[in-house]
Amino acid sequence: MPRLVASLCSLTCAAVFCSFSASAQQQAQTASGGSRFVQPEPIDFNDHQGWAQIFDGKTLNNWDGPPEVWKVEDGAIVGISSEAHPSGTTNIIWRGGEVGNFRLKFEIKLEGIGANGGIQYRSKNVPPHMREVPADRLAQMTDVQRERVKQSQEMLRKHAKWNLTGYQGDFDYGNRYTGQLYEQDSTRGIIAWRGQVVATEPEQKPRLLGALGTSDELKQYIRPGEWNQFEIIADGHTFIHIINGHVMAMLVDTDPKFYKLKGLLAFEIEGGGDVKISHRNIWLKKLP
């Protein structure tokens, strides 16, 4: 029996036992005049008990990224890219240490229709993957297209120090990918699309376990061009992405070829045209 299936069977048996136990408790409570159950406390994004603030709102202490791209503005870590001064795909890395099991919450805002960013986690530094364009394809390109290819490669070389591979909570201005779980600089690419609960196992294709809603249904909770609350939970092999109080994607990753137990946190910026990505109220809570 595959390990994931065995685990799910164990969880099912445990759930049945707990259900009987909970039913007995509820009957006892009802008999004594008490409530049958107690609802959890409501969502409070501003609850910081047990959390550590990893951005002081004023400086980039413990943050490391290309200085021509990243700065502090109005209490936020801001990445800027433009046609005249493109950033390419790059990151600003938190240098406060690697993270394993954690909860991270922050606010993010994207400006510019080409804006594409997100949060890298359990990631590691790797040399950039230089995608060489075949000569025949280059010959078919316009001068502008060839210049963009050259410019992109130059940016990758220039920002190689901050190039990462690993899990990413995606966020783009058009909200095509926002909320999904993407693996940067990896052959896996998009693993859990928005609205999906996905499992990975050795030598198998990712398997859909369930649905959280359709992509379009969840998209309505994302606010383009405004501040959005983003929370990421990484606990063992389970990863959860939550935006504005709604679960967007989940992954149970048990593929040892790709699974990462710990690594770096970073914010990403990419996209063409005039792009601005802001991050504020960044809090980290380490889990056992």
Q: Is 245 in a helix, a strand, or coil?
A: coil
pLDDT of residue 172: 97
Spatial distance between the Cα atoms of 257 and 202, rounded to a whole number of angstroms: 7
User: What ranges do the domains of the chain cover?
Assistant: 1-32, 53-286
CA gap 44, 245 in Å, rounded = 9
The predicted pLDDT at position 18 comes to 40
Q: Which H or E run contains 118?
A: strand 116-125
d(CA 240, CA 219) in angstroms, rounded, equals 16
Q: How far apart are CA 221 and CA 173, in angstroms?
A: 14
Per-residue confidence (pLDDT) for residue 2, from 0 to 100: 52
Res 33: pLDDT: 61
In this structure, which topology does domain 53-286 adopt according to CATH? Jelly Rolls (2.60.120)
Tens-digit pLDDT string for the chain (288 aa): 455 544 444 444 444 334 444 445 555 454 556 788 999 999 999 999 999 999 999 999 999 999 999 999 999 999 999 999 999 999 999 999 999 999 999 999 999 999 999 999 999 999 987 677 776 776 777 877 776 777 778 888 889 999 999 999 999 999 999 999 999 999 999 999 999 999 999 999 999 999 999 999 999 999 999 999 999 999 999 999 999 999 999 999 999 999 999 999 999 999 989 999 999 999 999 999
3-class state of residue 184 by DSSP: strand
Q: CB–CB of 210/218 below 8 Å?
A: no
Q: What is residue 138's predicted lDDT score, i.e. its pLDDT?
A: 65
Q: Say if strands 246-253 and 196-200 run parallel, antiparallel, or are unpaired.
A: parallel
- Phi/psi of residue 135, nearest 5 degrees: -60, -40
pLDDT at residue 32 in the model: 54
Task: Record the tokens describing residue 265, joined without a space.
Answer: 């946190």
pTM recorded for the entire structure: 0.84
